[in-house]
Amino acid sequence: MTTYTDKGEKPERGKFLRFHHVKFWVGNAKQAAVFYCDKFGLEPLAYKGLETGSREVVSHVVRQDKIIFVFESALNPGNEEMGEHLMKHGDGVKDVAFQVEDCDFLVKKAKERGAVIVKEPWIEQDSGGKVKYAVIQTYGDTTHTFVEYLGPYKGLFLPGYKEPLFRDPLLAKLPPGHLNFIDHIVGNQPDDKMVPISDWYQKCLMFHRFWSIDDKQIHTEYSALRSIVVTNYEETIKMPINEPAIGKKKSQIQEYIDYNGGPGVQHIALNTSNIIQAIVNLRARGMEFLSAPDSYYETLRQNLKRAKIKVKEDLKTLQELKILVDYDDKGYLLQIFTKPVQDRPTLFLEVIQRNNHFGFGAGNFKSLFEAIEKDQDTRGNLTVLTPERQGVPKAFY
């Protein structure tokens, strides 16, 4: 595991501020939004559709504290762009939007350095205010939208969005999700693509390396992964980039790549300041999580006896809820991963609480992988790798 102290290049103008929202392209935006509201505690925030004059695409926007998800579907037959995306990837993340300062400058810089600009900067406005946007291509079919507020925005979400058509009375009766903000968003890449993609963030967006881990550290009996985390100068946006590594059986990263039809967002981590209450409530709402075996907690108890830090939370409760613990000499983090949130084994979510610890749970990757592999096996996808199979680097052919 490597942590990096060099913050790299400071943009001479402009700034990446934070994750603004995540946009999903799905088959049925209305129903997908309900799932995230019911299971995670998000609530309807805004809407765009036929009733508001949006004739081609419908958007359901849901929010919990600073977490905003936008679910979009095509309204008319023959929408090739959205149709092809759905055919290839299934329901999933289309765009990760960043709030920025000086959108024009950041786009110009990215373009000079070879980034593909999907949409040059443009402005939208309504009675709430004025917002500048631009869209830039990242890995696979995924994009980044830059969002710059040109003055204070007083509307519900962004220009053109109106009140949700319906607020489900059931939501007010459910226990709160206790989720506060997007901690990090992970992109899975095919073999050998992790370094070029993390280099792209460093070159085009002036991000820098924050943390990395290789397959010697992260492997199970069957499979392995490598990961590099890139972040903006202020370190407010964390984007881990993963790739599979050679193993005896198919890596879960490769399973993702196969079912997603290429690279894409693997998981979104949501930060909470009270993971115990959050997971009690999310479990009560019917969210399904991966389980660590009891042996994980036995080992953890032994190891914590020699640790320099003390975990404040009750270990018995953490064990009951299947929350994982990772730590170093200065702090610890608590985390748990959901099962895939659609039928394809692609996107899942993570809930994370940090206590002076800025890693990504490397100490838990092995048990996480083993839990995923158990599920992968039930899907018939923990297959033995032979040289003809995908997932084997060319060097091993």
Least distance between Fe ion and beta carbon 20 (Å): 19
Least distance between Fe ion and beta carbon 350 (Å): 5
Nearer to Fe ion, 352 or 385 (CB): 352
Least distance between Fe ion and beta carbon 45 (Å): 25
CA of residue 330 relative to chain centroid, distance: 26
Q: Which stretch binds Fe ion (CB under 5 A): 124-132, 209-217, 290-298, 349-357?
A: 349-357
Question: Is residue 208 a known part of a binding site?
Answer: no
Q: Does 269 bind Fe ion (CB under 5 A)?
A: yes
- Token code pair at residue 38: 């019911």
Least distance between Fe ion and beta carbon 293 (Å): 20
Q: Pick from 70, 19, 39: which is nearest to 348 by CA?
A: 39
CA distance linking residue 49 with residue 125, whole number of Å: 17
CA distance linking residue 301 with residue 291, whole number of Å: 17
Least distance between Fe ion and beta carbon 248 (Å): 25
Taking residues 120 to 139 in sequence order and writing x for each that binds Fe ion by CB under 5 A, - otherwise, the string is: --------------------
Q: Which stretch binds Fe ion (CB under 5 A): 6-14, 44-52, 111-119, 348-356?
A: 348-356
Question: Is residue 163 a known part of a binding site?
Answer: no
Q: Does 350 bind Fe ion (CB under 5 A)?
A: yes
Contacts by 212-219, CB closer than 8 A, 24 or more apart: 212/1, 212/2, 212/4, 213/1, 213/2, 213/362, 213/365, 214/245, 215/245, 215/246, 217/1, 217/362, 218/362, 218/365, 218/366, 218/369, 219/245, 219/247, 219/366, 219/369
Q: Write the DSSP string, 178-204.
A: ---EEEEEEEE--TT-HHHHHHHHHHH
Q: Which stretch binds Fe ion (CB under 5 A): 88-96, 171-179, 218-226, 261-269?
A: 261-269
**Contact 141/181 with Cβ under 8 angstroms?**
no
Q: Does 323 bind Fe ion (CB under 5 A)?
A: no
CA distance linking residue 374 with residue 381, whole number of Å: 10
- Token code pair at residue 101: 């300062």
Residues 194-253 that bind Fe ion (CB under 5 A): none
Nearer to Fe ion, 59 or 338 (CB): 338
| Angle in degrees, 0-180, between the axes of helices 252-260 and 362-378, rounded to the nearest 10 | 60
Nearer to Fe ion, 269 or 334 (CB): 269
Q: Does 328 bind Fe ion (CB under 5 A)?
A: no
Total residues in contact with Fe ion, by rule CB under 5 A: 2
**Contact 91/100 with Cβ under 8 angstroms?**
no
CA distance linking residue 25 with residue 69, whole number of Å: 11
Q: Which stretch binds Fe ion (CB under 5 A): 69-77, 242-250, 318-326, 343-351?
A: 343-351
Beta-strand relationship, 57-64 and 2-3: unpaired
Residues in a beta bridge with 136? 117, 144
Beta-strand relationship, 67-74 and 57-64: antiparallel
Least distance between Fe ion and beta carbon 108 (Å): 32
What is the Cα gyration radius of the chain? 21
Least distance between Fe ion and beta carbon 166 (Å): 33
Least distance between Fe ion and beta carbon 373 (Å): 17
Nearer to Fe ion, 29 or 334 (CB): 334
Q: Which stretch binds Fe ion (CB under 5 A): 141-149, 223-231, 282-290, 345-353?
A: 345-353
Position closest to Fe ion via CB? 269
Question: Is residue 85 a known part of a binding site?
Answer: no
- Token code pair at residue 18: 């934070």
CA of residue 342 relative to chain centroid, distance: 14
Q: SS3 for 367?
A: helix
Q: Which stretch binds Fe ion (CB under 5 A): 71-79, 201-209, 304-312, 344-352?
A: 344-352
Q: Does 279 bind Fe ion (CB under 5 A)?
A: no
Least distance between Fe ion and beta carbon 227 (Å): 9
Q: Which residues are part of a known binding site for Fe cation?
A: 184, 267, 350
Q: Which residues are part of a known binding site?
A: 184, 267, 350
Binding residues for Fe ion (CB under 5 A): 269, 350
